[in-house]
Structure 1
Amino acid sequence: RIIDTSGNFLSHVVNGTVTSAGFDAFDNLTMNSAPNSTLLFPDFYAYLNSSSVLFNCSASDLDSNLYSLSLYGNWTGGWALNETKFISGGENSSTFSKILSEGTYMWDCKAEDDLGFSSFSNSARVFTLDLTPPSISSFYSNESGGCSSVGVKMFRVICETDDSSGLKNVSLGVNNDLGTFNYSLSLLSGNQYFRDINVDTYGAWDLNCFSEDLAGNKNSSSFSLNFIEKSLPDFKLLNFYVNESLPVEKEQILLISEVLNGGCSSGNLSVSFYNHKNGLVFINKTSNYTLLASQKTNVSIDWITEIGNNLFEAIADAQNSVEEYNESNNNFNYTFDVTSWQDFYGNFSGFTILSKGSNEDLLKWNNSGSFGKIFVADKESDVDWLNLAALGVNTSGGDSLDDFSEVDSLLGMSSFEDSISKEFLENEHPKLRKDLQIYGRLIKNVSLIDSGTKDTFFTGILWDSSDDLGGNGFDISDKEDLVFVGTINKSQEGDYGVQDYHIKIPVKLRSYDEPDEKEVYFYYELL
């Protein structure tokens, strides 16, 4: 091999045999070529925004005896070797991964061959790691919108933003009735960037300032303006509600609507109330009175409740007698259900007396039993108590579940959210069935519902089979008498405290048979 004056090997060893022939031939000795190192990324003066930094460099060697690539950098407090990877051949590369904090750093790679010759790249590189988004200290306009900017044709937005590494881009996003638009902002002075915008449509404008630094970190800020073309009132209905959450039929309640004048001048306000329950039915209208700009008020009318589903609509300035800035926000819809059921509950106590009048008592019972039944039927019903049958069951004992929808039709409850069918059936089958002992007879499969929420008292439906005209079951044309039955369970905790009974019946049971439409009769079985 060849050795320089300092004792370093300049070539690899070539072996041969020396003879007495006077000369001997050896294989050629190749002078060692020093390896070269090239930096690939990060680039010169790069700005990075991830703490996980990848370094990549390559090495080449003419005599293909590469040995290692080493990463050097100054992020450990001084210029130092960070990591070495072993390689081979004439060309190779390595990637190093490091977790770094924010700062500006220098890096380089050194290639070395198997004879110990090495070299760095032609020039070390500097990069900046920036993990902090730019700051936006303020974003505003020279116009405040609303009534103070009526008829404005142009406004200026200013975004105050800055970043320690420098800004790459500052832009403006605009969203209004015409669509979404993006504009670049120009430097005004210091950290202020601006743009003048033409008001080409009125109404709501959503504005966003987007700021991006050289490392790609981003920040944004937003605000909204409302531009008004004319100084007019603008009645807007904000809400609709009633003053009673659970009213019963024919109770007087208040229909209340909340109205705001969002315009820039006062106007004479009137609000009309409608019910869409049976077509569009006008209820009443409030009197005209002046509502100032930005003023909010509640307007109300009296209403006598009607059972079933009610769809109310309140309309401000229904006759369009007032010119408004926006006519599309003048109404508000509200759905409100008045239950079609009525609860009866209480206690049994004292004595029941059968008398012929003139203070002459024939029989006297002590109502001290713990159990029994209570019954409710329309006033005109002439019930044969020995021929009662379960609704939903025909006279042969088979199912007849159409009975429930037929009762709904007879009571005018088919469209109600709390109809007979919806209360007693689930997936077209009775929710609960039990056998009841009534007047000494066992009536099977009586459909029941919980009268309240405590699972203490139950309500069922019976029909009078003696009224059947041969159809073998309840029939809408025969209109057999209906009887609602409830359980007596003395001194039990119910929805209304400690009570002996709780039964619920449809309000319209009172009008099942004519002519009276106001009364139902209560009966109870003496045990």
Structure 2
Amino acid sequence: MNGNFSEERNVKMKIKQKFIFSLYFLFFILISLSFASAMANPAAVYCRESGYTYEIKTDSAGEYGVCVFTDETSCDDWAFYEGKCGEAFAKKIDISEKLQGAKLARESSSGLKLFSSAESSLNDFDLPPAEFDWRNYSSNNWMTSVKDQASCGSCWAFSALGAVESAYNIYNNDSTIDLDLSEQELVSCCFNSSVCPLSAKCEGGQPDESLNYTKYNGTTDESCFAYTHTNDSCGNRCADAANRTYTINDWGWIVNTTSAMKQALIDYGPLSVGVYWNGTAFDNSSDENHAVVLVGYNDSSSEWIIKNSWGTGWGDNGYGTISYGFIEIYDYILAIDGTETKPNVTLVTPVANANLSSQSVTFNCSASDSDGIHGLKNITLYCNFTGTWLANETKEISGTNNFTAFAKNLSDGVYIWNCMAYDARDLQDWADANRTLKIDSSALVITINSPANTSYNNSTQLVNISANDSGCGVNMTWYDWNGTNATYSSPENITFAEGNNTLIAYANDSAGNENSTNVTFTIDTTIANISVISPTNITYLTHLIWINATATENISNWIINYNGTNASLTINTTRNIESGSFNLKLYANDTAGNIGLNNSTWFTVAAPTTTLNLPANNSNSTSSSVTFNCSVNDSAELMNVTLYGNFTGTWVANESKNLTGNSNSTTFTKTLSDKKYVWNCLAYNNESGYDW
């Protein structure tokens, strides 16, 4: 059998159900006069009958017996039985009569016959492999530990429950469940049950009756009713035994052919079988007198592999082999058809790989008692909320179906979680897989790189938006322009309307966090119209010209050009312009960068040019006699020049001199007292042009 056990078993179970359910009925009860099986552990019987004390010990492999002698020394039970150690080192007594187990009888055919003789050809099944062993299937050991029945003839109970314990592992697809069921309950309580008419406690019993008892009454665990290898009272079970029982769905007979037994072993798990022990080995020389668990086979040696109940000192750590045919001959082969199963656990919310924006999280798990027999006990939320995987909170639950919520406040981060549920029999299971969630409550950082909060003279502008999120990462970015939404993926050119525009950028992450920012900007493609107020198209008789103009736009910068050179201009101010004729050009930049230009404006400046030569500005003189010298130049005929000063304390013309020609240097000599004085010269030409 290859592949996953649970899947393969389920497929084969479905195939078998075609005919299993058609045979599912109760056969009439057969009455047998045969005694029940009562083979005890020969080594334990030998120790006891030799007058010594038999004790059961436990180690990692399971239970084993020791024989304690009168001198308080001890010896392994089977080593003593075989004469290898102990007080005598040899057998003193014959216990063969004490080991006379009786033939196992099919006293009840109430079990489902899983394979009829017509089905033994296995036409509906894959051929089994050449070897198989439940101790090493899919690299797991599906068997429970070896036990020691001691001197009590209870092999029937150990055989039945050995198969049941393994069935719990197999049907739950979990090799670690490893129930330890109470054989003492079968010994002590099956005797009084209507389903165990042949039970005689330590004097013998039937595996099929044990399985009926487990099916209808349930069998408790070892810690509730520990094995005493005596005919202990059933009343000595623990007080809550009724709430600690384990049941099986059904059991059935397997036809006694080697091929059918192999297939049943694979499909149903270890089998409870009858065998014959001749005192030293298993053979087929007489009626079966012992019951064991069939766990595997090996075609190369033509042997069955069995688990005995005589402790780990017997055979190979409690296991042994029996030749093919030595079990089939007795036609006493039983299989377990289903057990109670672990709870079904489902993680509801948050969904797998959830991204959440809230640090307040509710974890929802549902659980159901899949077989609906005993109900649920509790459910636990497991997680790594603290950095370590551990149980976080447990809630008591009941019934066969439950929905449980765990409310938690968590920091931003990535977390793993799952839920584990227990039923009333302490069978437990997880949900199929852990889930991961991420909490990201931090806001995104979103930036509009362009356009900026300014004016543009081009209606087509690049929209460039960046968004960053340190948590879950950006999920989507979009923008809104004047009521129009658009998804943003990369920078793009957008044509905007003339005037003011508002662009709003949005972004969200996969956790649901959202943020936005906006920018307002102006589209202004209109060029300013300029109207020149001054100068006008006339001749100016002074160099100080008033420059003034108006524009139809908000102007951020004025530029003047009248002599071939651009220069910055403060509007509505005077400017000293040399004599000559000029074409005035005024440029005006508005806030959007549009440049306006006035219509041509011609004007003339016809004024002399006056220069103060002596004394130098801010000069100091030690003489009271001061010579003032002015030079005047003009393209027109000069007329006069006048010295102005505050020599008398008042700013007045002090002296005038007539001039001729186009260039002149005039001197004025004055006697002045000690004082600081201000002076200038005013010259006129014959066209009334003047200049200081």
The alignment's TM-score, normalised by the length of structure 1, stands at 0.39
Bigger helix fraction: 2
Bigger strand fraction: 1
When Rg is computed on C-alpha atoms for both structures, the one with the higher figure is 2
